[in-house]
Structure 1
Amino acid sequence: MLFNSINFAIFLPIVFILYWYFAKSLKIQNALLLISSYFFYACWDWRFMFLLLFSTFLDYFTGLKMQNSQNQKEKRNWFWLSIVVNLGFLGFFKYYNFFAESFAESVSYFGWKISPVLLKVILPVGISFYTFHGLSYVIDIYKNKIKAESNFVDYAVFVSFFPLLVAGPIERATHLLPQIKKRRNFDYAQAADGLRQILWGLLKKIVIADNCAEIANQIFGNSSDMNGSSLFLGAIFFTFQIYGDFSGYSDIALGTARLFGIELLRNFAFPYFSRDIAEFWRRWHISLSSWFKDYLYIPLGGSKGGNWMRIRNVFIIFIVSGFWHGANWTFIVWGILNALFILPSVVMKTNRNNLEIVAKDRILPTFKELMQMMITFILIVFAWIFFRAENIGHAISYIKGIFSPSLITYPNFDKIDDMLTAIILIVVFLLVEWLGRENQYAIEGIKNFNSKSIRWLCYIMILFVIYFYGNFGESIEFIYFQF
């Protein structure tokens, strides 16, 4: 059930009405959220419901066992049972074929021919996200940061709350569980803010991401026939496709959660206005970046110790992050590139120089800030080529095509009118994002207009843009569903 589908447009109001008008107690509210979440997930493929339920029962059960352990050894055994089984399922479904094919390819260099047995299974949607929900829960219990949750329904809602179930943000028990266990009362301002953020998320997905996808897919799919300028623009369009797609999903998820009185973790904070790669990674997929920081980077030693330890930890984090995104060497190279980009600032300890949003309390950036943003953006675009490419060879040939004499020629893309329309939409979109960059999301400031007429005029204009420029053809799934 896609967020931008008719089915979800029917599903959400029904759950909303039942939740606020018929669920009169906290117990009924949470039971309704759980039933709705399982129905939402079953709409993708009901067979994978059993995997979600098993993962939920496993972490709930091992959490209680750790809580009631008589000694540290027993606690550690239950902890590792949860870790190994969770990562085992994730590895089996997501990485088995990758490792099997990579092993066969590596031994072929020594003259050995192996035909690996490959699995013909569909990757369960959202498995990386709900697995990380459970992992953070059991790790926090093991480290005595939280107590195990005794109410199964409450814990199950934490794992499978439908706005975040299939593509995040990756929540923490310390943040979400207290909200689930607390009675929610309807808050008009919170619900209105949720609808506003949903509206902006839909524009990002339907207008920006899906229009950019049409062009980026054609250029990447026919890259050998494209000249350098078309390939360059294709990389730019994918850069905005993945941002509009994933941050649009996150906006809809956060807005939907607000309709039910729940605040999820912020996942994006205007990353393309970053002045260096370190700032970009504080603003892009924030919940995953912070997850890796808290549960991998800091336990490895973080930025403590000498330069070699910091360099090692940076590469581990970004290689694991790349591998988390998918079983393909392109993701690993993408991770390595980001590690290389961020390394100078980590070694020179300048990676926390830009903590505030750029040009705070100012309309325009300084020339230095503008140059920093442009350089950072170019590095991001370059790395995204590997993220989007089918394989390493495709990425290298694509980059070679860009850095050819045809880079300064007119694009040979057939649908040049569609390209020009998409460029105009991106420019207007960036302008709105820039003006709203100090808010939680770009159009949050609309609520501050005193005139109700002006507020509604803004909403009507956004709906107008969605209606006339949105891509309402064949539904394009959110990119991060595959992760």
Structure 2
Amino acid sequence: MFFNSLAFAIFLPIVFLLYWFVFNKNKSTQNALLIVASYYFYSCWDWRFLFLLVFSTFLDYYTGIQIEKGKSERSRKFWFWLSISANLGFLGIFKYYNFFASSFADLFSALGFQASPILLKVILPVGISFYTFHGLSYVIDIYYKRIKAEYNFIDYSLFVSYFPLLVAGPIERATHLLPQVKVKREFNIQNAKDGICQIIWGLVKKVVIADTCAVYANAIFDNYPSMNSFSLIMGAVYFAFQIYGDFSGYSDIALGVSKLFGIDLLRNFNYPYFSRDIAEFWRRWHISLSSWFRDYLYIPLGGSKGGLWMKIRNTFIIFIVSGFWHGANWTYIVWGFINAVYFLPLLLSNSNRNNIDSISLKWNFTSLRVIFSIISTFIITCIAWVFFRAKTITDAVLYLKRLVLNHDFSFQYLDNERYNYELVLLIGAFVWVEWNSRTKIEPLSGKRSSFKIALAILAIMAFGTFSDYKEFIYFQF
């Protein structure tokens, strides 16, 4: 069930009405309803994987209690590593087994040995990377005594399986979400209005921006050997806006839907394409994942407290692991490596925390430097996105090679497709709206809210009629 589907448009109002008018007696009935709704929501993809979600939930619930009750460090470590091993084991089997089997087979073949790997014919369970990380953070926090174990199975189950964030995040923390599900929620009309605005803006990002850009990005990347330099540049830009509109649009809808139920989720995007360096970009892009790796991988490895080589090592580890988290393909690993290389000069010059203030422009030289920094950061981000989008590393290298060496900057591709020049104007208008709303959660609330909402709904209906895409990109991760 997609957020941008008719089925969800029917599902959400039903759950909303039951939640506030039938199951509103206490938090237990509210939570029970949300769990049933979440399991139904998840089973719409493949009901068989619902058992994996339930098992993962019970595993972390039980091991969390055993870790807290453990009378010896040996006992606590046993339950801790049992949970970690099981979670990563399931993730590894479903998501990475075929990748490693094929990679080792290719390595042996290159060395002159014949290898016929046994590959698994399994479907990747939707959302497994996200709900696995929910459980991992919970168990880790209990082990290090940052939080207490949750003994109410209903409350814990809702923390793991809450449907707005279940399949594509944001990756929540027990310290943030569990306290909210443990109390009865009261309806707040302002929260509901804010939630509706955020849902609508998320749909604008998905239907109007991402799905429209996907038409061009897919065609250009699929036919890059015949594209000229200008088309290849636009293909990278279109994909940059496709993945941003798609993923941040999903996050906006998830946060907006959750507000309808009186629950606040972690913000996942903060206008990342207005970043002045790559460090700022990663503080603004997929914030819940970046902060997860910072807290549960980078800091335990020593963070930036050790010597120079330790800082460099830890930086490359978290970026490469972050890339690998996105998928079982060498392109994602290289994408992570490239971002680590981008980050390295900032780390070495100790300037990775320079741009933590809000962006403001005035008519002076400093503002010109800020604009240049934003544009240059966007350019190098687009270069990295080529590896993220390409099917193989070879395709990515050849794409960039042709982009640089072709030297043809005519409007080769835009002349032959719908929305041609209008798409460039549409992206420009989108950037202008986001720039003027960069201090807000979304641009639809505030002055002339009704007019902006009506315009947004009109755009969704107009572009949605011709949209060829429904699925969100991050469902595959």
TM interval, short-chain normalised: over 0.9
Matched, 1:6 2:6: yes
The question of whether the paired residues in 2 share the 8 Å contact of 1:363 and 1:435 is answered with no
**Counterpart secondary structure, 2:471:** coil
Matched, 1:479 2:469: no
Match of 2:21 in 1: 21
| Whole-Å separation in 1 of the counterparts to 2:117 and 2:98 | 8
Structure 1, residues 193-221: CA drift from partner, whole Å, max 9, x if none?
00000000000000000000011001111
The question of whether the paired residues in 2 share the 8 Å contact of 1:269 and 1:441 is answered with no
Identify if the C-alpha distance between structure 1 residues 343 and 319 changes in structure 2 by more than 3 Å, giving closer, same or farther.
same
The offset of 1:437, in angstroms, is: 0.1
Which amino acid is 2:449 matched to?
R
| Whole-Å separation in 1 of the counterparts to 2:364 and 2:268 | 24
| Whole-Å separation in 2 of the counterparts to 1:73 and 1:12 | 46
The question of whether the paired residues in 1 share the 8 Å contact of 2:2 and 2:470 is answered with no
| Whole-Å separation in 1 of the counterparts to 2:148 and 2:232 | 53
The question of whether the paired residues in 2 share the 8 Å contact of 1:226 and 1:413 is answered with no
The offset of 1:251, in angstroms, is: 0.1
| Whole-Å separation in 1 of the counterparts to 2:361 and 2:57 | 43
Structure 1, residues 153-189: CA drift from partner, whole Å, max 9, x if none?
1000000000000000000000000000011000000
Within-5 A mapping of 1:222-237: 222-237=223-238
Question: Which deviates further from its counterpart, 30-39 or 469-478?
Answer: 469-478
Within-5 A mapping of 1:92-131: 92-131=93-132
Question: Which deviates further from its counterpart, 122-131 or 471-480?
Answer: 471-480
Matched, 1:465 2:450: no
The question of whether the paired residues in 1 share the 8 Å contact of 2:278 and 2:377 is answered with yes
**Counterpart secondary structure, 1:408:** coil
The question of whether the paired residues in 1 share the 8 Å contact of 2:211 and 2:467 is answered with no
| Whole-Å separation in 2 of the counterparts to 1:375 and 1:293 | 25
Question: Which deviates further from its counterpart, 345-354 or 246-255?
Answer: 345-354
| Whole-Å separation in 2 of the counterparts to 1:112 and 1:463 | 59
For normalisation by structure 2, the TM-score amounts to 0.97
Match of 2:68 in 1: 67
The offset of 1:304, in angstroms, is: 1.0
The question of whether the paired residues in 2 share the 8 Å contact of 1:310 and 1:347 is answered with no
| Whole-Å separation in 2 of the counterparts to 1:153 and 1:417 | 50
The offset of 1:361, in angstroms, is: 9.7
For normalisation by structure 1, the TM-score amounts to 0.96
Moved over 6 A (4+): 360-365
Instruction: List alignment gaps of at least 5 residues for structure 1.
Output: none
How many residues were matched structurally? Answer: 476
The offset of 1:419, in angstroms, is: 2.8
Match of 1:456 in 2: 450
| Whole-Å separation in 2 of the counterparts to 1:49 and 1:278 | 38
Match of 1:173 in 2: 174
Structure 1, residues 354-408: CA drift from partner, whole Å, max 9, x if none?
1123217999981000000011000000000000000011101111110123343
Identify if the C-alpha distance between structure 1 residues 172 and 433 changes in structure 2 by more than 3 Å, giving closer, same or farther.
same
The question of whether the paired residues in 2 share the 8 Å contact of 1:232 and 1:407 is answered with no
Which amino acid is 1:339 matched to?
A
Percent identical residues: 59
**Counterpart secondary structure, 2:283:** helix
State the superposition RMSD in angstroms: 1.5
The question of whether the paired residues in 2 share the 8 Å contact of 1:93 and 1:121 is answered with yes
Match of 2:39 in 1: 38
The question of whether the paired residues in 2 share the 8 Å contact of 1:166 and 1:481 is answered with yes
The offset of 1:333, in angstroms, is: 0.3
Structure 1, residues 23-63: CA drift from partner, whole Å, max 9, x if none?
12111000000000000000010000011011000000000
**Counterpart secondary structure, 2:164:** coil
The offset of 1:409, in angstroms, is: 3.1
| Whole-Å separation in 1 of the counterparts to 2:113 and 2:407 | 43
**Counterpart secondary structure, 1:107:** helix
| Whole-Å separation in 1 of the counterparts to 2:205 and 2:107 | 42
The offset of 1:413, in angstroms, is: 4.8
Within-5 A mapping of 1:47-446: 47-359=48-360, 366-413=367-414, 415-443=416-444, 446=445
The question of whether the paired residues in 2 share the 8 Å contact of 1:206 and 1:471 is answered with no
Identify if the C-alpha distance between structure 1 residues 471 and 317 changes in structure 2 by more than 3 Å, giving closer, same or farther.
farther
The offset of 1:296, in angstroms, is: 0.3
Structure 1, residues 423-469: CA drift from partner, whole Å, max 9, x if none?
111111111100000112333xx33x3xxxx3211211111222223
Instruction: List alignment gaps of at least 5 residues for structure 2.
Output: none
Which amino acid is 1:129 matched to?
F
Which amino acid is 1:17 matched to?
L
Question: Which deviates further from its counterpart, 401-410 or 56-65?
Answer: 401-410
Identify if the C-alpha distance between structure 1 residues 284 and 186 changes in structure 2 by more than 3 Å, giving closer, same or farther.
same
